[in-house]
């Protein structure tokens, strides 16, 4: 969509929450420029395997930084802050994003009131752990622990477990994406910019819809329950002769369809006719189902349940997920023009016009300061002597 191609995003970003958000914006075709400190850079550049055999381009960094450009800039330096203001103006920045601590907003010259003086209609987004009044550090697992997500994950009689994906990071990014779209709509309608402060903690807690409502309103004790569901049964992981499946019987009609099959007729008991009865005896029921499914292959079990329209799935590993026809047709790729290395990227939540036009290909994740010459030299007009001077001073 041409509308998004005309938008520019400047982001002082590192780690995951801001980079994943700008990655999503790049998938819309926006011009995304990431800023990094000229010495330290994004710590995620050093995480994972050194797959390209060069510094600051390790595998973990490559996952969510395709489709972007990269600049290095010391914004703690007075000259760096002047260059930053020039970037805002000359790049005609529409959206500024940062996941720096709030105490650094003024110190680094990137507070909303400062940028607004340069670009009155700027959309400014500050991503923080616990809100703009807190400078408490926050990593994803800490947020999982504090928000209750970890308490809800794992087996009932075992330790709490961290989620398999960083939901506080990526969930906050998705909430940020929605807020930015609202701000763009507001600007289109009124011409006004917006300051957005988004807390990763508040974002994470917002996912606790059922747990909070039931525990606070009706005194329910909501905690981790393993693979089962506290309101529906049978809903769990079941072992087969060659793997595992997840079965989800969501109502009494589906249960009746299940026990009408020869394989499960032994479970057609009066006490199991209603979901409440099945929940009351969930452990014994699940053991009985496991005794049956364990004698058959996953493929046989899946074929049976698909035939009676009861939701079921093989529990797939990541490579199997990528091979799923619904996933394979939406997988993204990015190829390094320097080494020829091709990386396979997760599909977007929805296929954007930009990705369709580009045949689902994004530019390779940018090397550290890769666009310094292009933007500082060609766009801002600094000559070679000045660029060399700035580099020697540690500004770039």
Active site residues: 169
For residue 364, what is the DSSP state?
Answer: P
Residue 36's φ and ψ, nearest 5 degrees, are -140, 155
SS3 content of the chain, % helix, strand, coil (to 5): 45, 15, 45
- Look-up: residue for tokens 């990655």? 23
Hey, what are 376's tokens? 């500082």
Hey, what are 273's tokens? 């006719």
Instruction: Specify burial of residue 257 (Cβ count, 10 A radius: 0-12, 13-18, 19+).
Output: middle
Cα-Cα-Cα-Cα dihedral sign, residues 5, 8, 12, 18: negative
- Euclidean distance between CA atoms 286 and 228, whole angstroms: 9
Strands (E), the chain: 8-12, 31-36, 68-72, 95-98, 123-128, 194-199, 235-240, 243-248, 312-314, 332-335, 342-345
Tell me how many degrees the CA angle 201-204-210 measures, rounded to the nearest 5.
130
The answer to whether residues 368 and 45 touch, using CB atoms and an 8 Å cutoff, is yes
What element of type H or E holds 62?
Answer: helix 59-62
Question: Which contacts qualify for 272-279: CB closer than 8 Å, 24 or more apart?
Answer: 275/231, 275/232, 275/233, 275/251, 278/233, 278/234, 279/230, 279/231, 279/232, 279/233
Instruction: Specify burial of residue 340 (Cβ count, 10 A radius: 0-12, 13-18, 19+).
Output: exposed
Tell me how many degrees the CA angle 377-378-382 measures, rounded to the nearest 5.
35
| Gap between the terminal Cα atoms of the chain | 33
State the number of CA atoms in the 13 A half-sphere of 92 facing the CB. Answer: 5
């Amino acid at each position: 969509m041409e509308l998004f191609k005309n938008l520019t995003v400047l982001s002082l970003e590192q780690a995951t929450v801001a980079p994943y958000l700008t990655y999503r914006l790049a998938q819309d075709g926006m011009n995304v420029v990431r800023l990094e400190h000229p010495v330290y850079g994004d710590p995620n550049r050093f995480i994972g395997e050194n797959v390209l055999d060069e510094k600051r381009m390790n595998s973990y960094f490559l996952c969510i930084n395709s489709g972007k450009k990269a600049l290095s800039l010391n914004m703690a330096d007075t000259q760096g802050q002047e260059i930053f203001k020039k970037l805002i103006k000359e790049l005609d920045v529409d959206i500024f994003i940062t996941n720096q601590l709030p105490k650094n907003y003024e110190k680094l010259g990137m507070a909303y009131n400062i940028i607004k003086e340069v670009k009155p209609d700027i959309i400014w987004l500050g991503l923080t752990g616990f809100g703009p009044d807190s400078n408490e550090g926050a990593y994803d697992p800490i947020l999982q622990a504090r928000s209750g997500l970890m308490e809800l994950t794992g087996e009932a009689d075992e330790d709490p477990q961290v989620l398999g994906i960083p939901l506080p990071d990526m969930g906050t990014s998705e909430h940020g994406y929605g807020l930015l779209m609202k701000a763009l709509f507001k600007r289109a309608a009124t011409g006004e910019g917006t300051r957005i402060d988004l807390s990763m903690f508040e974002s994470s807690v917002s996912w606790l819809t059922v747990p909070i409502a039931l525990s606070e309103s009706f005194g329910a004790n909501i905690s981790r329950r393993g693979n089962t569901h506290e309101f529906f049964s049978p809903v769990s992981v079941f072992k087969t002769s060659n793997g595992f499946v997840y079965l989800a019987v969501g109502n009494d009609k589906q249960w009746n369809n299940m026990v009408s099959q020869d394989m499960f007729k032994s479970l057609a008991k009066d006490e199991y006719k209603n979901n409440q009865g099945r929940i009351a005896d969930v452990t014994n029921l699940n053991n009985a189902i496991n005794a049956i499914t364990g004698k058959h292959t996953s493929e046989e079990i899946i074929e049976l349940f698909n035939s009676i329209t009861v939701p079921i799935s093989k529990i797939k590993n990541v490579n199997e997920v990528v091979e799923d026809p619904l996933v394979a047709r939406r997988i993204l790729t990015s190829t390094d023009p320097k080494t020829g290395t091709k990386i396979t990227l997760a599909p977007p939540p929805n296929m954007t016009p930009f990705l369709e036009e580009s045949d689902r290909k994004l530019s390779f994740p940018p090397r550290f300061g890769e666009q310094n010459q292009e933007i500082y030299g060609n766009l801002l007009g600094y000559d070679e002597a000045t660029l060399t001077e700035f580099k020697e001073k540690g500004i770039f």
